[in-house]
Amino acid sequence: MSHKISRRRFVQASAATVAATVTAPMFLHASDKAGTKDPVVGSGDFVYACVHNWGNDSLPSGHEYGGASHGVAVDQQGLIYITHQGGPDSIFVFDTNGKFVKSMGKDHTVKNRGKGHGIDIRKEGSEEFIYLAPSDSSLFFTKMTIDGEIVWNRGRKELHKDSGVLGPKAGYRPTNTSFRPDGGYYLGDGYGSNYLFEYDKKDKFVRALGGKGKDAGKFATPHGQWLDERDGTAKLVVADRANKRLQWFDLEGNHVSTLDGFLFPADIDVRGDIMLVPDLHARITLLNKENKVVAQLGDDTAWREQVLADGFSMRRSPERWQPGKFIHPHDACFDEQGDIYCVEWVIGGRVTKLVKA
């Protein structure tokens, strides 16, 4: 049976969180020799210093994020992978101190410009693998090794052969991937057909989930998805972005529940009992095990109105960006220490490291 959590309950929880927020002090970032103080966001157990433009100083000449920084993932060695729409290639890799390590992902470029979008990393046996989803209809989902060796490419032709849902009139433009606890995975065609394609651990097609719509189990831009095991039961949770909600499914593909009240949820990550939801409309939401809001980082109604005004002109105007405020959080993830890396859909890209106090 589906259970829908009302927008009223979500908004009440949000209001309670905002009411409990106290002004946090500014504090000095360890690597900031000039003495500039990093802005602080959040309250209670969820206070973070915002290190904006993290890693920018170490980018080599000719390396830039271009139209946007899109996705972020962390491997077991602590290296941070950022997908982008600049060049060269489509992925930049940094160490935990923000030092540039390498550029990779050339197969997800068009005319020498990156088409990087979704990126996630999973350990399989003794080896880690990168799963990529490019923001381009001519490209393909890719699985590769950490060193960049291609394991497989799966594009529109292969997905249609498996599922039968990507006919001539269907859209196709990948957004993200996510993983099942049994070794399977989901490929999300969030900008195209609004389907998620499930495969088992042997790369055999299982089913297509969703399709376009507003009803439970349907999607309007299923932009990101993740595995949610916080209540002891493994479920798939989907950021149903244009429907402004999260939806949960059991591992047989049945709709379980819906949480309304979001603005434009873009993706999901989980660490312990906390779910992280970057919202393209200028904030980051943290939910506890009961899916109650425990923090909304950067949330500011007046600021959001500016961000969304004039055809999103703010994303093209870095001189208007304010410390401690977000423009368009497009993806975010935790690292092992509980810090958060947030990448934004802005011209020129922006990576913010949120260092937990």
Above 50 in pLDDT, residue 18?
no
In a domain, 22, yes or no: no
pLDDT score for 26? 45
In a domain, 136, yes or no: yes
**b/e 4-19 (16+ beta carbons within 10 angstroms → b):** ebeeeebeebbeebee
Above 90 in pLDDT, residue 297?
yes
Q: Compute the mean pLDDT over every residue in the chain, rounded to the nearest whole number.
A: 92
Residue type, 252: E
User: Where residue 199 sits, what CATH number does that domain have?
Assistant: 2.120.10.30
In a domain, 123, yes or no: yes
In a domain, 272, yes or no: yes
pLDDT score for 15? 42
In a domain, 265, yes or no: yes
pLDDT score for 281? 98
Above 60 in pLDDT, residue 315?
yes
User: Which band of pLDDT confidence, cut at 50, 70 and 90, is reported for residue 36?
Assistant: confident
Q: What is the pTM of this model?
A: 0.91
Higher-confidence residue of 43 and 20: namely 43
Domain count, the chain: 1
Q: Residue 175: which domain range?
A: 66-292
Instruction: Give the mean pLDDT of 118-145.
Output: 98
User: Which band of pLDDT confidence, cut at 50, 70 and 90, is reported for residue 350?
Assistant: very high
48-104 per-position pLDDT tens digit: 999 999 999 999 999 999 999 999 999 999 999 999 999 999 999 999 999 999 999
User: Which band of pLDDT confidence, cut at 50, 70 and 90, is reported for residue 344?
Assistant: very high
Question: What is the pairing mode between strands 141-145 and 150-154?
Answer: antiparallel
pLDDT score for 30? 41
In a domain, 83, yes or no: yes
pLDDT score for 31? 42
Element (H, E) at 311: helix 301-312
Those residues whose C-beta lies under 8 Å from the C-beta of residue 46, and which sit 6 or more positions away, are 286, 294, 295, 297, 356
Higher-confidence residue of 259 and 7: namely 259
> Among residues of the chain, what percentage have pLDDT more than 70?
90
Task: Give the lowest-confidence range in 5-14, 113-122, 272-281.
Answer: 5-14
329-339 per-position pLDDT tens digit: 999 999 999 99
In a domain, 310, yes or no: no
User: Which band of pLDDT confidence, cut at 50, 70 and 90, is reported for residue 35?
Assistant: low
Q: Is 325 helix (H, G, I), strand (E, B) or coil?
A: coil
CB atoms within 10 A of CB 344: 27
Per-residue DSSP letters for 19-71? HH--PPPPEE-TT-TT-PEEPEEEETTEEEEEETTTTGGGPPTT-B-BT-EEE
Above 80 in pLDDT, residue 186?
yes
In a domain, 250, yes or no: yes
